[in-house]
């Protein structure tokens, strides 16, 4: 077990760069789902590996083995590694659990505070206008979700571009994009290497909202101008209302790259023939699937091996 249990802890070294590269070649929506799902699975395998290391090492200590109704500590040639690794893995597991709870509570508190601020001002449907001169706009999730915009941002954009900006923020709310970011943020608590997925995920979510807004407005150039103008206005502000860290905004991320993507020649969605999947994308998808599957299989194999070892020890005890 001691060999298989390390695989989930090391696999993000290969999986994260592979996922980042593959996401660059995918449509924004598919890239967002890919990055989020990959992070969640790898984080779950990491937590399982830490738990298995903790249990396996603890059961090799006679007091813990006796508490588990074992006649003697678990046998195995890996005792010299498993026993010292157990307290380290256990400490990491407890720290991750506490950090997860703290991160989730902070996320909830930030959204509640922002919602109280939004509800204290005038509402027009799902639109909340803050009387601040500093340009800003973001999607505030909740029930119902709100598009929060400042008076400064409204003054910075002409009417057509305002509608594009609102469509962008509504796309974040409709797609529940904040849950994608939260999933990756919580996954990164379990394994620090998974932090590398947050930046490409944020970009994919913004591109997803860009394309949705362009489709609703019916003009990709207007959408591109709205995003570029809003980003420039927001960058020039020196002070303004505090924005929750968990929300998404049209002014975030690599705006020039997003604008260029909107202004690039757009292939019609109803083309009669689908283009073949590029070979590089197929290889990247196969490599990422192999990494994730190998990590999950190693965790399952380690758990099955530990279970079999415990059952053997219990059988020896009952047979005596």
- The pLDDT, as a whole number, for residue 315 is 59
8 Å CB contact between 278 and 25:
yes
Q: Which two tokens stand for residue 23?
A: 């996401």
Rounded to 5°, the CA angle 228-231-235 comes to 140
Enclosing H/E stretch for 130: strand 127-130
Name 218's Cβ contacts closer than 8 Å, sequence gap at least 6: none
Q: What is the model's pLDDT at position 223?
A: 93
Higher pLDDT, 26 or 251: 26
The torsion angle over the Cα atoms of residues 288, 290, 293 and 295, rounded to 10 degrees, is -80
pLDDT attached to residue 319: 46
Is the CB of residue 291 less than 8 Å from the CB of residue 15? yes
Q: 28 forms bridges with which residues in the sheet? A: none
Q: What percent of the chain has pLDDT over 90?
A: 39
Average pLDDT, the chain: 82
- C-alpha dihedral, 267 to 271 to 277 to 281, nearest 10°: 30
155, two tokens: 């003054």
Angle at CA of residue 248, ends 141 and 120, nearest 5° = 50
Which phi and psi (to 5°) does residue 146 adopt? Answer: -125, 145
What is the Cα–Cα distance from 259 to 243, expressed in whole angstroms?
A: 23
Is the pLDDT at 163 greater than 90? The verdict is yes
Please state, in angstroms and as integers, the Cα–Cα distance from residue 259 to each residue in 36, 72, 160, 224, following that order: 24, 66, 17, 5
Radius of gyration of the chain (CA): 25
Lowest mean pLDDT among 76-90, 204-218, 252-266, 297-311: 76-90
Between residues 34 and 283, which one has the greater pLDDT?
34
Integer angstrom CA distances of residue 35 from 3, 201, 236: 27, 6, 32
pLDDT tens string 235-275: 765 555 566 776 777 777 788 999 999 998 764 444 444 56
Tokens 């604008």 found at: 259
Q: Which long-range contacts (CB under 8 A, 24 or more apart) does 183-186 make?
A: 183/36, 183/39, 183/40, 184/35, 184/36, 184/39, 185/103, 185/107, 186/43, 186/100, 186/103, 186/104
Q: Which residue blocks in 25-68 are alpha helix, DSSP H?
A: 28-58, 62-67
Is the peptide bond between 190 and the residue preceding it cis, with omega within 30 degrees of 0?
A: no
For residue 115, name the pLDDT band (cuts at 50, 70, 90).
confident
pLDDT-derived band at 78, boundaries 50, 70, 90: low
Spatial distance between the Cα atoms of 91 and 231, rounded to a whole number of angstroms: 43
- Contact present, 185 and 197 (Cβ < 8 Å): no
Q: What is the pLDDT of residues 193-230, one digit of tens each?
A: 999 999 999 999 999 999 999 999 999 999 999 999 99
Here the tokens at position 11 are 């696999």
pLDDT range class, residue 306, cuts 50, 70, 90: confident
Tell me how far the alpha carbon of residue 139 is from its chain's centroid.
Answer: 17
């Amino acid at each position: 077990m001691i060999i298989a249990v390390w695989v989930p802890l090391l696999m993000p070294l290969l999986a994260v760069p592979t996922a980042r590269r593959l996401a660059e070649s995918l449509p924004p929506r598919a890239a967002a789902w890919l990055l989020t799902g990959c992070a969640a699975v790898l984080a779950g395998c990491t937590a399982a590996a830490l738990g298995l290391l903790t249990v396996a090492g603890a059961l090799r200590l006679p007091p813990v083995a006796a508490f588990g109704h074992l006649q003697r500590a678990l046998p195995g040639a890996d005792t010299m590694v498993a026993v010292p690794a157990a307290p380290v893995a256990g400490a990491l597991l407890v720290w991750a659990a506490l950090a997860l709870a703290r991160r989730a509570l902070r996320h909830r508190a930030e959204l509640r505070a922002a919602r109280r601020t939004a509800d204290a001002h005038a509402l027009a449907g799902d639109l909340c206008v803050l009387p601040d001169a500093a340009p800003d706009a973001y999607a505030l999730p909740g029930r119902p979700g709100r598009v929060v915009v400042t008076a400064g941002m409204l003054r910075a954009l002409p009417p057509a571009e305002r509608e594009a900006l609102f469509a962008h923020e509504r796309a974040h709310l409709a797609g529940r994009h904040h849950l994608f970011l939260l999933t990756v943020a919580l996954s990164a608590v379990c394994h620090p290497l998974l932090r590398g997925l947050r930046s490409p995920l944020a970009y994919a979510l913004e591109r997803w909202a860009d394309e949705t807004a362009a489709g609703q407005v019916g003009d990709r150039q207007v959408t591109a101008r709205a995003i570029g103008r809003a980003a420039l206005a927001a960058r020039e502000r020196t002070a303004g209302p505090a924005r929750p860290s968990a929300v998404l905004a049209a002014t975030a991320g690599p705006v020039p790259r997003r604008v260029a993507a909107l202004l690039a020649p757009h292939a019609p969605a109803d083309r009669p023939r689908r283009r073949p999947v590029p070979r590089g994308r197929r290889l990247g998808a196969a490599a990422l699937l192999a990494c994730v599957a190998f990590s999950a299989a190693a965790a399952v194999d380690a758990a099955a091996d530990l279970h079999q070892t415990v059952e053997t020890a219990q059988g020896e005890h009952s047979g005596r």
